Structure 1
């Protein structure tokens, strides 16, 4: 056992023995960077003393074995026997995804052998404080697997000290280095006791903002530190020290391969590095200015990705589902890269959205001929008669009816790919029938404009009968059953309502609650409480849908039309409505394999729980499909394989938790803040009209029941599952999306004002605030 060793005996690969802080500092020292000399009391020493104990009181009173006392005393004497800093270094800290900043203790200006031994004991005990235990529990880190080392270093009596970030922690800009500094020891900056001097260093120079130096922490004679009142007078770092810090920061970040959070001290004209760890919760780098196409595509992605995708999403439904379909369709018409490579991963977790960069191919030259050929051959009005569609429905039904629990592992682990393979025929159908849809819409719009009747276009399309409209009507009928039978009054619910609910879910239960491009988000059938919340919103009032306005009859009766033109326009309206229905309904049917994939993955997760690889079935989402497929037999896994998968899941879960508050893409880059005048927010006008009402912010399906009749619905995104809310909302204001998005189309159908693509409405508007939504100008103002 190695109980105590010099700092330079350790490197970045020695985390199990030296802990995160010790391993990183040892790596810096070994590579020649300016690090104060020191030694590490290893995790072996902790294990020797711990003996299964896990309370702070035990470690503060335990007697150290003689061999260990002597080793610490000898290392301290070799260091000079003067003041030292004693820092905790747990094996789970300073890792990507689990910084543990401030969770374990540090003791400064420790003087004397006995004081060092006491500080080591207190560092061990800090592993078992309530806050440290709770932090580990939140990250899913088992207490029994965490050990702690202690780093003892020569004390640096700093003139100035602080923290350096090798990337801007607010904007994510990797081209900027941010330094916070103040007088005395850096603990004043780290603990937030002072407003520090603030430096932003980039190729453009150095920006400086002075701090206030409310407190200065300094060492005291004989040990310990004192807090003195600050003078408030700025004491700037010398320019050469600023340059040296920036150079050191770049070198250290390059060495570790990722941006670093570095504690430093400046004393006697020298810069020294006291700690380095990966930056956590760092936003993605700024994307820069987007061109109109990228802005449109990123707007769609923000709408489709309300939550961060899991590794299983990236390897299943994202490449095979709607995104993969759109990429395949556009590639078929000569545009590649439209939805490829738009997600970047770090440490196995999706970190950011990268704006797609579509590029034309030679196939684009033939696209006009391809479109016309397919438009003549494939009529959207008859797409459900296509043999490929009928075969698809039969295959989905057969696969969905299989008993997953009865399947042997080899058959079960192949099921996700079988379900994903079903998607291909639907992609072919979209490729074949969309040209007819587009051509029908263009023909109708042109015909109307030539006659000066362009205003009719939107209203005419409302007459298209879609599966989304069917679902909304069925939900309204279900709400009426619930109200009539008293199903919402409590448990148990009446049998009549339960039967109606089962029938509804059998028909529409595969609809997504949050995102159509993720397999990990539940469907209505997976989360029936979402349906119940929608029923609560709808019960007790008439349908909010505007009275059927037969726009076609109004059009045909218009005096500008001649008798011969009426018949032609009628055919063109019918063709355009059939195209709209195809676009909506093909998505409805396209989503049918998604629940099969999701249920098979959760069954795989349940079986992995049975062999102690996972703690919950849902933890399977942290794995990639190929990692699951690498398991030949779940009951015969080698211990090393189980451990490797366990470690993978835990590391990705920790990284995901770290990124929980970090956006995949800054909405401001997609929806730049506009000069709004008196408006609270503004966006794209998507459905006309002006209405006032109280704001109700709904961020996720679990909050559906909050909406009351007459509220202004403010939400980050929408999809078909949200549209029943439009029957009660007075208006809708959405962070993402545009005038062609699903929310905008349905809002127009229900005759309520809609403002899309505000980028920040959910952050600016508050529940209960009375606002006026102008769907004609795209502005939301405060109601006086």
Structure 2
């Protein structure tokens, strides 16, 4: 410790600190101190501790300002920037700066107490000042770093991660500048795939600011842990950031930048090997993958910063064919990260659990079991399981044969268990949740989930017959060489989903025929438009029919049947109206799927082996009819399976409201951050012990922050699920789901909020679909989906509408550019860019 730090504890050498000193020097300085202590090449420097900032904040009246909800971040920044730095602190900073050398250029960086942590990197949220020269300039940069704690972006970032704004502090790191010829960042794991045995290096000429701030397309290197080069992608060298002689930096572009990069790798093998060695040492020291800033000057490598990698995808191991099939279904059913409440209700007891129970009934273990891995209550990874038949599977063959012979799929809705199920759903919907006692309310979700057992038991009994009926068509039609007819043969089936689509089409006809109604529905706020229609007597009939639709079909999910956290259609009339408006621009297609089915059957029966035998034709007609009944069974039992979800969701939201009223939750919706067993264990929200209440709130804060960190991170590596096929010049490839070729404009539709973006005759490119998306297929020329398989919702609907479809591309929504013209080949399962 230097003499300066001994006399003023607010300005202390960097090496005096380590990981235990987070509260004093913030995350960045604590990590750099650790590296210095470990003997790693970190430029020398000192820290202006959080105590110095706390004194400045007190003088500025920051606490009073924070107590006023009307105060803006700009007001907070201005208050800090207006504070005079005391003379004794100025002297201490000047002395420490002199200790680095006479007039030495330094980098002045913020180091907040909520920065460079495992759950929140805060990368770029506070300011950095490079090539600062002179004591007065250093003091001024320190003050500006303090103020940058209150930039709009930093305040928003902390809010998203539930960081207490009043508790956060900031230290400032001052280090000798490295006048680097080459600099950049490196990751000790692949930030895209999550692979832990890779080192990924991005490099640019000059100072690392060009790479860190995204000003330049850097050289990109993939190395193994020993530093061997696996792949190199050259950068473009658009900008070089260089230090100015008198302080500050300049940006050079054009010829200077190109000369600096010259099209050759910026890093030779020796430099890459040195970086890989340092990367391994730093990752081992901290015990987890690291995000590291580095610089090379005069052949020497320097480490400028190291922080834990955040938002690192889970590492997906290789998947076999069965696991890929399961994963393709799960990525469709879990298009977004489930909340803890989702995982412990509809994921553990919903459709996936039903499939697991059906598998166990027939002696198959591991089918769709334990499909989500959690960390501290937050879902981090999809885990496709490995089904394992047992001796019970052989013993159940007799049961299967008996069910196939005696239970016809067309009769399932007449089963008394379906009647009992609908009666239970009606009883649940009749409950006035707001009047129930806490004990009665807590019992409702369990009862709603138990109602799904009726659907499970029906599927156990009737699915074998459905599967057999499909095999009896698919197998002989394939043998006859007419496999391409199968989608149309099984299309146009009358289902509850088709009835919903027909109802939407009738609403669209009504809007199409009434210009005043169409004008009334113009605008982005369709929920507000519907509210306005309710008080306009001219549109009472239309509003009544919308309400009828919501009453009949509003139980359906808007995102996934596995997510109770997402609203239902009944809660989202704006989505329904958006679908209606999307259909208004399209002419009706009534009967098209049915007519295609009839035509496909005629073509099949015209086959010579069938045409010569009326008996065989009659048998094939019966088989096709049974197969169509099987398709209806699959679709309709899925429709009813979610019938109890609105009551389940309503009860959970009512629970959240009561917990909020008791002061346990900031908002009622925070209840979704809790696991069901955690809520069920609350005996009385108004009498909960303070320690238990604090524990509950802390759990929600941690999970909120973790979910924010993982916001853009996939729960499974889709490249493992949907391995790219040899597509030549294809932008993406996937599973062929409906044949045909279309060239048109591609439109990325990310969610139900984007429905209006799809124009007539455009190609729908989306991450997933569910029944709420069906009317979009009337407008689309083709469909390309990131997830799903040939049996998924999108594939079935595409075949009904006869539009080319490619499923399971894995990356269609990111690889295809919104608005570009592409060619979708649904026969080979590939998408290519159209020739210009």
TM-score by length of 2: 0.81
Q: Is the 8 A contact 1:545 1:750 kept in 2?
A: no
Match of 2:578 in 1: 533
Hey, what does 2:27 align to over in structure 1? 20
CA distance in 2, matches of 1:323, 1:129: 45
Q: CA deviation at 1:329?
A: 1.8
Checking the alignment, whether the CA contact within 8 Å between 1:476 and 1:543 is kept in structure 2 is no
Q: Which of 541, 544, 562 is 1:499 aligned to?
A: 544
**Retained in 2: the 8 A contact 1:159–1:183?**
yes
Q: RMSD in angstroms over aligned alpha carbons?
A: 4.1
Aligned to 2:304: 274
How far did residue 497 of structure 1 move? 1.6
Q: How does 1:399-414 map to 2 (within 5 A)?
A: 399-414=428-443
State the match for 2:592 in structure 1: 546
Of the three residues 457, 464, 475, the one matched with 2:504 is 475
Q: Could you say which residue in structure 2 is the equivalent of 1:598? A: 649
Q: Cα 1:203–1:396, aligned 2, differ >3 Å: closer, same or farther?
A: same
Q: CA deviation at 1:456?
A: 6.5
- Matches of 1:9 and 1:46, distance apart in 2: 19
Q: Which of 240, 262, 279 matches 1:249?
A: 279
Kept after mapping to 1: 8 A contact 2:533/2:543: no
Q: 2:348 aligns with which of 309, 319, 333?
A: 319
Alignment of 1:665-704 (within 5 A): 665-676=716-727, 683-689=734-740, 694-704=745-755
**Alpha-carbon shift at residue 202 of structure 1 (Å):** 0.9
How far is the alpha carbon of 1:88 from its aligned partner? 1.4
Give the counterpart of 1:576 among 627, 634, 638.
627
Distance 1:489 1:236, change over 3 A: closer
1:60 has 2:87 as partner: no
Q: Are 1:261 and 2:294 an aligned pair?
A: no
Distance 2:214 2:473 in 1: 64
Greater CA drift, 594-603 or 755-764: 755-764
Q: Confirm or deny that 1:439 pairs with 2:468.
A: yes
Would the alpha carbon gap of residues 411 and 563 (structure 1) be closer, same or farther in structure 2, given more than 3 Å must change? Answer: same
In 1, the alpha carbon distance for the partners of 2:221 and 2:582 equals 52
- 3-state SS of the aligned residue for 1:55? helix
Inter-CA distance 17–727: structure 2 relative to 1 (3 Å threshold):
same
SS at match of 2:783: strand
Residue of structure 2 aligned with 1:589, choices 640, 646, 654: 640
Is 1:360–2:398 an aligned residue pair?
no
Alignment partner, residue 418 of structure 2: 389
Distance 2:554 2:751 in 1: 18
Please state if 1:521 is matched with 2:551. no
The answer to whether 1:166 aligns with 2:212 is: no
Q: Which residue of 1 aligns with 2:168?
A: 146
Comparing 118-127 with 129-138, greater Cα deviation is found at 129-138
Structure 1 stretch displaced more, 410-419 or 433-442: 410-419
Once the two structures are overlaid, the 10-residue window that deviates more, 328-337 or 640-649, is: 640-649
Deviation per residue, 1:452-491 (Å, 9 max, x gap):
8877755553464321222222222333344456544313
CA distance in 2 between counterparts of 1:767 and 1:114 reads 50
Deviation at residue 32 of structure 1 after TM alignment: 5.6
CA contact (8 A) 1:467 1:585 kept: yes
In the alignment, is the contact (CA less than 8 A) between 1:692 and 1:783 conserved in 2? no
Segment of structure 1 superposing worse, 310-319 or 382-391: 382-391
1:359-387 per-residue CA deviation (whole Å, 9 max, x = no partner) reads 33333333433422332454333323333
Distance 1:111 1:657 in 2: 38
Q: Quote the Cα distance in structure 1 between the aligned partners of 2:365 and 2:716.
A: 22
Match of 1:621 in 2: 672
Matched residue SS, 1:98: coil
CA distance in 1, matches of 2:269, 2:799: 61
Could you report, residue by residue, the CA deviation over 1:25-48 in whole angstroms, capped at 9, with x for unpaired residues?
A: 344455565555655443343223
Provide Cα deviations, 1:200-228, integer angstroms capped at 9, x if missing partner.
4315743377876964645969x777889
State how far apart, in whole Å, the 1-side matches of 2:293 and 2:762 are: 50
Local SS of the residue matching 2:358: helix
Which piece of structure 1 moves more, 552-561 or 56-65?
A: 552-561
Q: Does 1:742 align with 2:763?
A: no
> What is the DSSP-based 3-state SS (H/G/I as helix, E as strand, rest coil) of the residue aligned with 1:174?
coil
Gaps spanning 5+ residues in structure 1: where? none
Pairing partner for 2:49 from 37, 42, 51? 42
Task: Tell me the CA shift for residue 587 of structure 1.
Answer: 0.7
Find out whether 1:330 has 2:330 as its counterpart.
no
CA contact (8 A) 2:241 2:251 kept: yes
Query: Partner of 1:262: helix, strand, or coil?
Result: strand
Are the structure 2 counterparts of residues 387 and 30 from structure 1 closer, same or farther at C-alpha, using a change threshold of 3 Å?
farther
Distance verdict in 2 for CA 1:327–1:10, change over 3 Å: farther
Alignment of 1:284-323 (within 5 A): 284-285=314-315, 287-288=317-318, 290-323=319-352
Shift of the 732–125 alpha-carbon distance from structure 1 to 2, 3 Å rule, reads closer
SS in 2 for 1:95: coil
Work out the CA distance in 1 between the residues paired with 2:239 and 2:613. 84
Moved more, 771-780 or 375-384: 771-780
The CA deviation at 1:261 is 1.0
Query: Which range moved further: 618-627 or 641-650?
Result: 641-650
Aligned length: 782
Equivalents in 1 of 2:215, 2:518: separation in Å? 53
Distance, in Å, in 1 between the alignment partners of 2:166 and 2:556 is 42
Q: Contact conserved, 2:200 with 2:220, CA < 8 A, in 1?
A: yes
Matches within 5 A, 1:186-265: 186-187=208-209, 189-191=211-213, 199-203=221-225, 205-207=227-229, 215=240, 217=242, 232=260, 242-265=272-295
Write the distance in 1 (CA, Å) between the matches of 2:802 and 2:559: 24
Kindly indicate whether the alpha-carbon contact (under 8 Å) linking 2:559 and 2:770 is maintained by their aligned counterparts in 1: yes
Query: Does the CA-based 8 Å contact 2:338-2:563 persist in structure 1?
Result: yes
Distance in 2 between the 1:159 and 1:695 partners?
Answer: 43
Residue number in structure 2 paired with 1:101: 123
Find the partner of 2:519 among 489, 498, 508. Answer: 489
Whether the 8 Å contact between 1:183 and 1:213 is mirrored in structure 2 is no
Tell me how far apart the structure 2 counterparts of residues 478 and 18 of structure 1 sit (CA, whole Å).
Answer: 63
Which stretches in structure 2 are left out of the alignment for 5+ residues? 1-7, 63-74, 521-531
- 2:742–2:825: 8 Å Cα contact kept in structure 1? yes
Conserved in 2, the CA contact under 8 Å of 1:423 and 1:590?
A: yes
Q: Distance in 2 between matches of 1:706 and 1:157?
A: 49
> Cα deviation per residue 1:103-122 (whole Å; 9 max; x = unaligned)?
22334566776655444323
Q: 2:218, 2:234 within 8 Å by CA — same for their partners in 1?
A: yes
Distance change in 2, residues 1:314/1:81 (3 Å):
farther
Q: CA separation in 2, counterparts of 1:360 and 1:684?
A: 27
Provide, for residues 371-409 of structure 1, a one-character-per-residue CA deviation record: whole Å limited to 9, x for no partner: 223324543333233333322222222223322223344
